[in-house]
Amino acid sequence: MGSRIMGQFGTILKEAWSKTLPVAKFLCFLHVTGTYGCQVSHSYGPSMLPTLGSTNYLIYETISTRCDNIRPGDIVIVRSVENPRKYTTKRLIGMEGDTVTYLVDPKESDKCETVVIPKGHIWVQGDNIYDSNDSRKFGPVPYGLLIGKAFWKIWPPEGFGSLGKN
């Protein structure tokens, strides 16, 4: 009697395993794709006007940041320096060793400052220099906070397509 119950239990386990294995494989695929491939990001606010509207959904990839395949001019997703739970979308202006000259406060004056980006850092700015919280305010961003490079806009529909470089 005990072996018959064990046999039925084994059959039930095999059936359960055969039904959950495809789901587990799919979840693993999503995890690997999201971690090492592409993800969707919600970008909002006036920082990237006119390139991006006030609310956008972008696809970004994370491989370029691991392979040092990003260049000034790329639109990047960066973990916020001020609130690490948030991501921000900015344009990459300079890499380590580059010299960047920027307007300190374009609303108030035309005073410029020049900075050499230290090793292991990048310089990011929003396209809207009048309303962007970026490296002009908080300085160079550690390369470790760089999440990925945005390459495709999926929302709103009228802006659907490749971001390219501006």
Checking if the pLDDT of 101 tops 60, the result is: yes
Catalytic residue status for 18 = no
CA 104 to chain centre: 26
pLDDT value of residue 5: 59
Euclidean distance between CA atoms 75 and 98, whole angstroms:
18
- Greater confidence (64 vs 97) lies with 97
Catalytic residue status for 107 = no
Q: Which residues contact 159 (CB under 8 A, 6 or more apart)?
A: 52, 53, 56, 153
pLDDT value of residue 166: 46
The single residue of 14, 43, 54, 90 carrying the catalytic annotation is 90
The single residue of 47, 132, 149, 153 carrying the catalytic annotation is 47
Checking if the pLDDT of 62 tops 90, the result is: no
Q: What radius of gyration, in Å, describes the C-alpha atoms of the chain?
A: 23
